[in-house]
Structure 1
Amino acid sequence: MKTKQLIITTLFITFFISASTAQKLDEFEVSPEWISKIERLAPNQPTVKNVSKKRILVFSKATGFKHWTIPHNIEMLKVLGKKSNAFEIYIRYDVENFSKDNLKKYDAIILNNSNPEGPKRNLFYDLLKQNSSLSDEDINNKAIEYEENLMDYVKKGGGLMLLHGAIVVQNNSKQFSEMVGGSFDYHPRQQKMHVKEVDANHPLVKAFKGKGLTHVDEPYFFKNAYFNYNFRPLLYIDADKLKGLREKPENNINYVSWIKRHGKGRVFYSSPSHNAQSLDNPEFLQFLLDGMQYVVGDLKVDDSPIGK
Structure 2
Amino acid sequence: MKTKQLIIATLLITFFISASTAQSMDEFKISPEWISKIERLAPSEPSVKNVSKKRILVFSKATGFKHWTIPHNVEMLKILGKKSDIFDIHIGYDVENFSKDNLKKYDAVILNNSNPEGPKRDLFSDLLKMNSSLTDARIAEQAAVYENNLMEYVKKGGGLMLLHGAIVVQNNSLEFSKMTGGSFDYHPKQQEMHVKEVDVNHPLVKAFKGKGLTHVDEPYFFKNAYFDYNFRPLLYIEADKLKGLRKTPKNNINYVSWIKRYGKGRVFYSSPSHNAQSLDNPEFLMFLLDGMQYVVGDLKADDSPMVKK
1:175 aligns with 2:175: yes
Tell me, which stretches of 5 or more residues in structure 1 are unaligned?
Answer: none
Amino acid at match of 1:292: M
In 2: Cα distance, 1:223 partner to 1:188 partner? 15
In 1: Cα distance, 2:50 partner to 2:281 partner? 25
Q: 1:31: Cα distance to partner? A: 0.9
Match of 1:258 in 2: 258
Q: 1:137: Cα distance to partner? A: 1.2
Q: 1:6: Cα distance to partner? A: 8.7
Match of 2:44 in 1: 44
Q: 1:3: Cα distance to partner? A: 10
In 2: Cα distance, 1:221 partner to 1:71 partner? 25
Partner of 2:65, secondary structure, is coil
* 1:155-187 CA-partner distances (Å, limit 9, x unpaired): 000000000000000000010000000000000
Farther off after superposition, 218-227 or 136-145: 136-145
1:193 aligns with 2:169: no
Distance 1:18 1:156, change over 3 A: same
Match of 1:80 in 2: 80
Runs of 4+ in 1 over 3 A off after TM superposition: 1-17
* 1:31-72 CA-partner distances (Å, limit 9, x unpaired): 111010000000000000011000000000000000000000
Partner of 2:205, secondary structure, is helix
Tell me, which stretches of 5 or more residues in structure 2 are unaligned?
Answer: none
Relative to the length of structure 1, the TM-score reads 0.96
Q: Summarize the alignment of residues 24-63 of structure 1 with structure 2, pairs less than 5 Å apart.
A: 24-63=24-63
* 1:228-282 CA-partner distances (Å, limit 9, x unpaired): 0000000000000000000111200000000000000000000000000000000
Partner of 1:259, secondary structure, is strand
* 1:83-120 CA-partner distances (Å, limit 9, x unpaired): 00010000010100101011000000000000000111
In 2: Cα distance, 1:124 partner to 1:15 partner? 41
Distance 1:141 1:5, change over 3 A: closer
- Please give the root-mean-square deviation of Cα atoms over the aligned residues, in Å: 1.7
Distance 1:129 1:8, change over 3 A: closer
Q: Percent identity?
A: 85
User: CA contact under 8 A between 1:228 and 1:307: conserved in structure 2?
Assistant: no
1:223 aligns with 2:229: no
Q: 1:17: Cα distance to partner? A: 3.5
1:162 aligns with 2:133: no
In 2: Cα distance, 1:216 partner to 1:83 partner? 27
User: CA contact under 8 A between 1:231 and 1:307: conserved in structure 2?
Assistant: no
Partner of 1:203, secondary structure, is coil
Amino acid at match of 1:59: F
In 2: Cα distance, 1:3 partner to 1:131 partner? 53
Q: Summarize the alignment of residues 71-220 of structure 1 with structure 2, pairs less than 5 Å apart.
A: 71-220=71-220
Match of 1:297 in 2: 297
Aligned residues: 308
Distance 1:139 1:4, change over 3 A: closer
Q: 1:19: Cα distance to partner? A: 2.7
In 1: Cα distance, 2:178 partner to 2:67 partner? 24
Amino acid at match of 1:245: L
Partner of 2:194, secondary structure, is strand
In 2: Cα distance, 1:123 partner to 1:14 partner? 36
Partner of 1:303, secondary structure, is coil
